[in-house]
Structures are given as structure tokens and as C-alpha cells.
Structure 1
């Protein structure tokens, strides 16, 4: 009989800000509970070891297979995904075979779009768990996409995106075509389309599923996912669960959240000068890009909305052929003003928790949605890609905590939505947000559902450690 082993978990995120952050929160929660964790990122998206609050958590990195000067942008996503499936997979296997840490690795927690983690874990005889970093409603939709294709509902037979879409169990009468994940607008033969479908299928080989959500927010969709996975752990909002546990805050919140970008904290001083609940916070995440025309429409709409605004406008976020024009616009926007503050990146959790902030114009990414819920800040969603289309529909029509500005960007619409959210004080939205925010808070206290689900996960990781074997080298 083999000696019982301590649990040692490898966490493998998809190399992007929105995926790294929640998985880093999980890594720190596990380490604080006594589980040894190796957090494996890429050289390009390397996490700093200085952000670790625990000696049980270490950071390592491998190459993603692309040259250093590759932009790794959404525009070149096909090249990025191919490199992950081939070059990075080979490097992952080499790393695990050469790994000499004690105790030996007992489990791999792989991002739901990093099936290379499941493949290599199976090859080496290690148990794998899948962590999908977006909503349960979107994951359930992904699992139903092959059925939609089989039934001839995808690809869409025409260009009418406002046509009602039927056939998603648990969402009848809710969806239009435009509300499905963005990949559903692509040709099913495209490489990214096939990649995400294959990744979703591969997830079912994992022994369990982790989701950054909570039972009282997405209970119906979580129930449907239990028909696919024997064990589903809803442990979100992870950032709030980690804050409730007070992990790593002594070393500074910026280090704790694991941002891959440098935060401009001058915006916090600007917020201090603003009236309570008067500011619109604007951020479209770490990957989305907008055209110069869209930038101008957003700018005019925000100004005409009559409220001060804090806008996160990344230097790499503007699409335009004339680099000088882009630089000129950004320079003009970033001139300090009583009515606006424009920064390259902001400490988002702190911004949303600031008493001056009253609304959030967002891309509807899942981290942003959960952070908005936790802070009790209603949303205007302008989704771009991936899960954001379906998230924004749930925000507006299921949870009723915001407005959906999907597929439109004109100054009149922006102004109207800002005024509706900030001046009209939409009573239904405010009441719904207050209720759901309270449910979010309740889920992360010691007896809350997410805390208990995290406890179940930790106990199962310990059981896996006691029954595992070392990797054969």
C-alpha cells in the first residue's frame, strides 16, 4: 500500500487577465487552507511570486510557444489557440515530467478552455478538475450548441439577429439570436468555433467542475450542469470569498488581486472629490477593442448623460489606421477634468466599492459582472465577445440588475441609458441589485453556500491526495 500523500494541486489558467484573476483567488484560498498549490502561467503572462501570501503557493511559468513580440490579441486568436494546443501542451508535459517538488502533484485544476491540462493529467495518471471561468448560464449554452447545430438552428439561416431563439432548456422565451455567445455568429467550420466546442466536450472528462458563481444566482443552470458533472462546486464570487477570508490583504490589495496590468490609482483621489453615487464607471475589460467612431460616440453619450465619469481606456484598446489621431484623442481625453477621469487601468474592485460610483458601463465580462453584483452597482452592458452576449441578457432580463446595450453604440443610446440608470433611478433595477447583492454577500460568509462548497472541494482534494500515486518519470 502506498503512503498517504499531502494534496498538491497544479492550477493552469488560460493566459489572459480575466481567466488568471479568479484562478489566482482560488489558488490563494486553497493555500490558506493548507493545500500546496503550484500556479502555472506563461512567460508572457507571468504572475509575480511577491503576490503570494502563503509559503504553500508558488508561481512557475512556461512558454506558450509564441515569440515574445506576438500581440496575442483577439484578432490573432487562431494562432494563439493553435500554439496552446501544440507547443504549450508539449512544454506542459515536459514540465510535469521534470517536476521534483514535494509532495508530488496529485491533481490538476485546468481552465475550461485549457484542455491540454486534462490531456496531460490523464496521460500521467493524475486526476483533473475543470474550472470554467464564466457563468453557468453561458456554460450550459455551450453544452447545448452541438444540439443546435444538429437541429439546423446554427448557423443562423439569415441575418435577423432579433429573431427569437428557441431550444435552450431553462431559457424558453428569453433569448434572441443576438443573445447567444458570440461564436454562434461565426461559421461553424472556423478554427476558433471548433476549438471552443472541442474544449467544452473535453471538460466532461474532468472529475469535477468548479464555477465562479453562487447557488442563489444561478441555481437553475447549476442544476442542469449536475446532469453532466457528478460534482459541481459553485464557489463565487471568488474575489468576495477571498476578501471575506482576508487573504493577503496585509501585503496590499493590488498585489492580492493579481492584476497583469499596472493600475493607475490617481483615479481614487479623483473619486474622493465626487458626490455620492454620481459617477459612471466605464471599463470594457482587458481585451476588447473599439474603433475611433465608437470612442467618439461613447464620449459624446457620456458627456451628454450629464454625469461625471471614470473611464478605463487602455492605450491598446483603440482600432485605427492613423496612429497620430489615436494618440491625439487619448491625450485630449486624459487631461484632468472635474467631470471626467480617464486612466489606462484602474483597481476595479476598489472603484466599484467607492461611494461616489453609482453605475457601471461594462462589456459584461463575468468578473466584472460579479464584482458589480458584490458592490451593488447596477450595470449597462455593451458586450463584445465570448460569454458577454449571454451575460448581458441575464443581467437585463433574468436578474434585472441593469440594461443591455448590445450591438449598438450611438451617442443618443448611451446618453439615454446613462440617464435611465443614474437619474431616473430605475426602481426595479435598484431593488433587484440590492437583493442579489445581499445574496452574494450571504454566499461567502462562513455558513454561506460558496464557503461550504469550497470546504467540500478542499476535503475532496485531500482525499485525492491520500489515494493518489506519484507521476511516473
Structure 2
């Protein structure tokens, strides 16, 4: 390597979209590249998320063993006290377009990331929600890759949006949400209107146009390759439909499990969390019976009203099951200082429940006391649940959740779908279905999927081999692009 011309030495820049669920998987990929022998890796994220990484994770320590790795920051254009939650997603997109995009161009064109000991950037791996890094890469004559922390199925839905419009399936012409969508190859027999991504469900006029611009932007500028956090055996039929339309697809998931493989099996479960983790919940789980606890978490950005929270609370309590529930400080939309939890819920929760602001999720799912996962159906949570072998009850809300939950329940059959409902009777029934009535059949499917997931990230597995192929391409650039 020392004898190579500096311009031929690979230098990979990773650039996530500024939301927690997007920062984590790209940081995992950055560590995978470092562990695979790429010495020059730069991780560019907002000052806000960089501060949280340093405050709540051991990222600085983990990456200290890679001398040529660099954390770099960029402004998102938002004030320090901005909540940066999904309810303010328009602010985030505005900041990306008005501040991050011109700043990113300036950094790349000024060779900011190059130094005496560091070669210029040879490849940009950017989040699929941002197309401008691909345009910058093309102008500079370097490689670009589109990173997707979501599943292939969701990406395929987005890719086919124009076909849905041409077929008259978008926008919806009636209120029949159970009508099948027939213009997405590989999904014709089971995907309904209600299973489409949230920004396509019921959108009309300008709202639909704006949503389509977001999901289709990366197809206007074609990257050299697409990296997806999935594994071949999970989404093989959809990947087969996609590959003729994409230059190159690398499936590397589950990323967190592949990272564990490269760490010789050591889990790094909570170390990328951008929230302060409450480890006391593990002590509580230690005192519970095997498969007796429902783990409840709706991720880092989903919010609900007080009314919805009470419905879930009563549903969980009335199910008679023990539960561990993650309730973030910003979880409730309509905050009311006068709100008080009903006394019966308080007493029942003390008896059978445990509530934390944030948990070490991978560790929780792997705990023998956990028998089911009530989730928002975020892709990272689904993969973590599959690796742990824990069946799911899905309550999808935004983004890819609605599509994911349909695959969980009707394709992979490793969980139940509770979309478009939020009442205590339904929640109580479906929690009992998850933990008792339908548990055996869900576990049979889950055990098979878990085995395939573990195989994919092991030596000789598809994701393991794809990581090697990706690294070889990055080292050989520009020959293999």
C-alpha cells in the first residue's frame, strides 16, 4: 500500500441522513470497512449527532484502534435546541437542502478531507434520502454508492412509484385500503394499499408530488452501486426483481450481526445508541421467567398522543402479561402537565411492568425472559428481532413501517400486523396471540429465519462474502467501476 500513488489509495467517505435510524447503520458500515482493512475512512455527520455519539456511545474508543479513521462534522442548519424529531421532518429536509448540500459541495471541492497523510476521497457512500452527494461524486469523477438502511422490499416499492401512477393505483381513487397493488412485481398477491409506505398512502396533489421527489431522487442520479441492510435469503424474490434495474447491489445485513462476526462474536449491542441507556431493565429481566415478557419499543422517532398511550397501556395491563416498555421523554405529542396516569395502571405496572426512557435493545431482545416484541416495524428493529429469534407484533406508523409489517406477518410469518388500529381490546387480544395463542406457529417460522440470518453473516455466508466483494471493489477503484 505504501508504494501506491496517493490518488490510487482508497478513501471512503460515509454520509448519513441526520436521523438516528439513519446514523446508526452507516456507522456500523464504517466500522465494518475499517475492520476489513480499509485504512482511510471518514464519517461525516451533523454536529448534533456527533455530540450525541460522543456523549452516549463508546464510538470514540472503538474507532481509536483505526488511526486513519476520522469523524468530521457538518451543520444541519438547525438551532441547538431544535428537537429534530419526526414531527419536525420538514425542518430537517429544509436544513439538508439549504445548508448541508452547499456545505457538502464546498468541503469536497476544496479537498477538505485530504491532507499530507490522507489521500483525496475516492468513494462517497451516502444515505439514499440524499441524492446530491451522488451528483458531487460524478462532478469530481469519483465513485458513489447509495446506502439503504431499509429493506429491499421498501426500496422496490419506492422505485416502482411511477408504475403505480401509470397504472392508476396512485393516488388512491377510493377508500378501499385492502385493495391489492398489482404494479409492483413480486408483491402482486399480498401488498395492499394500506401496506404502501406512509408517504404514498392516500397522498394527493402536491403532497404526492413532493413525496415522490424524495423517494425517487436517487434514481435521477445513478450511483455506481447500492448497499442494502438485508440478507439474500430473506428477500431473494424481491432482489431478483430489482437487480436488472440497479447497477450493482450489495446485501450486507444484518449489519449489527455482521459486525459481531468481525468482532469474533462479541456483541456491541448498545454502543451506537444516541440516547442514554438504562441498564437497570436488564436486572429486572433477570428476575422474570423465560419467554414471559413483552418488550415494547416504538423506536427513536415515533410519537403518540396521550389517548393512544393509554390504549396501549390498558391493552398491555389487561393482557395479563409482563412488559418492559420504552417511553422516551419526547414520546407523547400532546404534552399536558396536568395529565396523570390512572391509579389502576400505576398499580398494575408496578406489579408486572417496567418502564425506561431507553434500553439496550439488542441485549433486551437476546434476553431469555423476552418472548415477544411490540414494535413500530422499523427495519433495524425487525433485523434485531430476527437475529434474536423473537416474534413481533407490528404497529407501523411512518416511512417503511407499513410495508415492513406486511412482510413480517404475511410473507415471512414471524409476527402479527396491527396497523391502522389503536384500541385496548385489539391490543390485549393481539398481545395474547403473540405470547400464547399463535406463538408456536410464529416461532417455527422465526427459528427458520433466524437460522438463515445467522448463516448469512457467518464465514461463507452471503453477507460476509458481499462485504469482502465490496471492500475489494473499493480497493480496486477505479478499475472495477
Q: TM-score range by the shorter chain?
A: over 0.9
Q: Deviation at 1:133?
A: 1.1
Determine whether 1:445 maps to 2:454: no
Moved more, 359-368 or 333-342: 333-342
Distance 1:336 1:301, change over 3 A: closer
Q: Which residue of structure 2 aligns with residue 178 of structure 1?
A: 194
Asked if the contact 1:374/1:440 (under 8 Å) is kept, the reply is: yes
Asked if the contact 1:164/1:177 (under 8 Å) is kept, the reply is: yes
Determine whether 1:189 maps to 2:206: yes
Asked if the contact 2:167/2:183 (under 8 Å) is kept, the reply is: no
Q: Secondary structure at the match of 2:17?
A: coil
Q: What's the CA shift string for 1:288-338, capped at 9, x where partnerless?
A: 000111101100111111110000111101011523327x689x8699734
Q: Which of the numbers 392, 398, 402 marks the counterpart of 1:389?
A: 402
**C-alpha distance in 1 between matches for 2:215 and 2:376:** 23
Q: Which residue of structure 1 aligns with residue 357 of structure 2?
A: 344
Moved more, 99-108 or 368-377: 99-108
Q: Deviation at 1:427?
A: 2.7
Q: Which residue of structure 1 aligns with residue 57 of structure 2?
A: none
Distance 1:183 1:333, change over 3 A: farther
Distance 1:174 1:441, change over 3 A: same
Determine whether 1:145 maps to 2:158: no
Asked if the contact 1:32/1:247 (under 8 Å) is kept, the reply is: no
**C-alpha distance in 1 between matches for 2:342 and 2:466:** 48
Q: What's the CA shift string for 1:154-204, capped at 9, x where partnerless?
A: 1101222122322211111202210111111222522751442332424x5
**C-alpha distance in 1 between matches for 2:469 and 2:30:** 15
Q: Which residue of structure 1 aligns with residue 15 of structure 2?
A: 12
- Scaled by the length of structure 2, the TM-score of the pair is 0.91
Q: Deviation at 1:248?
A: 11
- Scaled by the length of structure 1, the TM-score of the pair is 0.92
Q: Which of the numbers 111, 133, 136 marks the counterpart of 2:149?
A: 133
Q: Which residue of structure 2 aligns with residue 45 of structure 1?
A: 49
**C-alpha distance in 2 between matches for 1:169 and 1:294:** 36
**C-alpha distance in 2 between matches for 1:110 and 1:183:** 21
Mark the runs of 5 or more structure 2 residues left unpaired by the alignment.
55-59
Q: Deviation at 1:215?
A: 0.4
Q: Which residue of structure 2 aligns with residue 312 of structure 1?
A: 326
Determine whether 1:25 maps to 2:25: no
**C-alpha distance in 2 between matches for 1:43 and 1:10:** 16
Mark the runs of 5 or more structure 1 residues left unpaired by the alignment.
469-473
Q: Which of the numbers 225, 232, 236 marks the counterpart of 1:208?
A: 225
Higher relative contact order (CA 8 A, sep 6+): 1
Q: Which of the numbers 99, 103, 114 marks the counterpart of 2:113?
A: 99
Q: How many equivalent pairs are there?
A: 462
Moved more, 121-130 or 231-240: 121-130
Q: Which residue of structure 2 aligns with residue 471 of structure 1?
A: none
> Root-mean-square deviation (CA), in Å?
2.3
Q: Which of the numbers 79, 96, 108 marks the counterpart of 1:84?
A: 96
